Amino acid sequence: MTKKERAMEIADILESLYPDTPIPLQHQDPYTLLVAVLLSAQCTDVRVNQITPHLFAAADNPFDMSLLPVEKVEDIIRPCGLAPRKSKAIVDLSKILVEKYAGEVPQTFAELEALPGVGHKTASVVMSQAFGFPAFPVDTHIHRLAYRWCLSTGKNVEKTEKDLKRLFPEEIWNKLHLQIIFFGREYCPARGHDMETCPICSKYGRKSLMK
């Protein structure tokens, strides 16, 4: 079996388990999604979803957010971690959206990645989930599972993204990256993982393939 054939069988398993893929981060529009994804760095989606209602009650658009003191934003988002850096980025990017984009979130990777606090992974999530652009956001969980399933060498997230894009059809990227995240949380955790009972690792895991 080729790696591409194995990848497609894994995709079939994921589709059977997760035919519906709701976006884990609660949001109302591209702007609130952008802010939520920025907050999710080194923080769980559950915690972000607990904090964003309080933040968006204070400001849920770039016009209002740009007027908030950074200290107020920092105080609200403190439970998400990295609050000083994230709060400054949120206020600064909001000002840029108002001044340069009339309050709209830009729809290109280059423009998104030029915003404060927005890296390639955050831009990929916004492009795929807010605008439907084919993208394959790779976080640490997807990076780990791609290595565990022998779909990538695991050298870095950039290499993993390229490997996964080569293996899977573009039309399933947006859904598949969410399916992998859901699967990792339910069946394939980083620690305490039982390879023998895992629906994918038991068949296609690195240890299984090396037997």
User: Which residues are identified as catalytic?
Assistant: 121, 139
Question: On the CB side of 175, how many CA atoms lie within 13 Å of its CA?
Answer: 15
SS3 of 12-67: HHHHHHCCCCCCCCCCCCHHHHHHHHHHCCCCCHHHHHHHHHHHHHHCCCHHHHCC
Tokens of 28: 């109302």
What type of residue is 70? Answer: V
